[in-house]
């Protein structure tokens, strides 16, 4: 049963907003001191629970995983400070996670939608262009307001990355998703794919490694964010090495995208494109690596505070989730130092509070 927790340190209500005096009462945050004494006092810098904006709870390297494995994935993410996950595709319905108070909150996207035989085997609903709209409508109804398209992948006949679907099909699919009340995000590695997606009115881009200067004004004007998944992009050299003998053009392309990954994200950030943090955990990337992604964004040139914002306040606002506001669910982290100046402090959290319960941290006297 949730009681009263007092947070005695600085409270970061925004990337550049700080105040004092915060309590969790029966699972809800309040800035009004309760009449009763607290059951627990946590001292340190308080921030909202982190957001992993590209995560696959319920997927492993081979695709679908059993429920007990998905549960461990969710707990691993939670114990790293991720208290809100935007799912970017899973094989089975994972809404059961939403019924478990000890697991992170999750916004689901249904299954990936890919072109036939043009994606990882066993991961996606695979369709031809004429069936794309119907597939999008189905996945929009199966999820929590998001649909995930695989925008491009290797075309083995061409020997390089190529768009998964014709531009007209993508436009019709995005329009159908919007009709269903869902937003669309798309896996995009290549340069030209981004043009098709922007033309279609896409709502978000995953990876975005093909970002060029010509794209930047459109991203800003259309308000399209990027979730770079930099710790996933770090695997490109291995992919290129494995593909080089059979698909040398594809291998060279992937290596070139990897080499320019940091400068492209920094250019996007400096141009005013919204950047959000996502790990792509659940296939080749292990869960619980959100701090690695924040540090990778910082390493690409984003100020530490901006990198943190990409996985905290700004990300929550984008997803329509409360951060630290009066009456919000008490989903917060307690840090030993100001994480805006030292992202590393997120690796040694003093407390993780989810739905008003201390799920990890030290309890005085224990």
Per-residue pLDDT at 244: 97
Residue 360 has pLDDT above 90, yes or no: no
Residue 340 φ/ψ, nearest 5 degrees: -70, -25
Helices 132-142 and 167-179, axial angle in degrees (round to 10): 30
Mean pLDDT computed over every residue of the chain:
96
Average pLDDT over residues 89-94: 95
Per-residue pLDDT at 1: 47
Residue 2 has pLDDT above 90, yes or no: no
Residue 178 has pLDDT above 80, yes or no: yes
Residue 106 has pLDDT above 60, yes or no: yes
What's the pTM value of the predicted model, to 2 decimals?
Answer: 0.96
Beta-strand pair 351-354/357-361: antiparallel
pLDDT in tens, 289-331: 999 999 999 999 999 999 999 999 999 999 999 999 999 999 9
> What's the rounded Cα separation, in Å, for the pair 86 and 280?
10
Per-residue pLDDT at 70: 97
Query: Considering just the CA atoms, what is the radius of gyration of the chain in Å?
Result: 21
Residue 202 has pLDDT above 80, yes or no: yes
């Amino acid at each position: 049963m949730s009681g009263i927790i007092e947070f005695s340190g600085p409270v970061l209500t925004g990337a550049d907003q700080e105040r004092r005096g915060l309590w969790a009462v029966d699972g809800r945050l309040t800035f009004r001191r309760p009449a009763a004494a607290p059951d627990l006092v946590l001292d340190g810098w308080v921030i909202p629970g982190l957001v992993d904006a590209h995560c696959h709870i319920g997927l492993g390297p081979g695709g679908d995983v059993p429920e007990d494995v998905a549960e461990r994935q969710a707990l691993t993410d939670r114990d790293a400070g991720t208290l809100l996950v935007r799912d970017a595709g899973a094989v089975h319905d994972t809404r059961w996670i939403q019924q478990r108070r000890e697991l992170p909150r999750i916004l689901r996207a249904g299954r990936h939608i890919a072109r036939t035989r043009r994606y990882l085997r066993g991961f996606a609903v695979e369709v031809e262009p004429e069936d794309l709209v119907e597939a999008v409508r189905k996945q929009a109804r199966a999820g929590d307001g998001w649909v995930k398209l695989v925008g491009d992948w290797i075309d083995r006949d061409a020997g390089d990355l190529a768009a998964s679907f014709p531009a007209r099909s993508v436009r019709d699919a995005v329009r159908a998703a919007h009709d269903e009340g869902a937003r669309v995000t798309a896996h995009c590695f290549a340069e030209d794919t981004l043009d098709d997606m922007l033309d279609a009115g896409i709502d978000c881009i995953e990876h975005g490694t093909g970002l060029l200067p010509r794209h930047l004004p459109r991203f800003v004007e259309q308000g399209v964010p990027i979730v770079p998944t930099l710790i996933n992009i770090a695997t490109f050299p291995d992919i290129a090495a494995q593909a080089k003998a059979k698909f040398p053009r594809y291998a060279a392309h992937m290596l070139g995208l990897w080499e320019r990954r940091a400068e492209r994200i920094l250019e996007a950030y400096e141009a005013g494109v919204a950047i959000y943090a996502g790990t792509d955990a659940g296939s080749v990337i292990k869960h619980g690596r959100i701090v690695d992604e924040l540090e990778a964004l910082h390493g690409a040139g984003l100020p530490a505070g901006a990198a943190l914002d990409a996985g905290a306040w700004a990300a929550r606002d984008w997803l329509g989730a409360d951060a630290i506001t009066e009456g919000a669910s008490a989903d917060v982290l307690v840090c030993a130092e100001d994480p805006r100046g030292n992202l590393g402090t997120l690796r040694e959290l003093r407390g993780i509070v989810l739905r008003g319960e201390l799920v990890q941290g030290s309890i005085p006297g224990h």
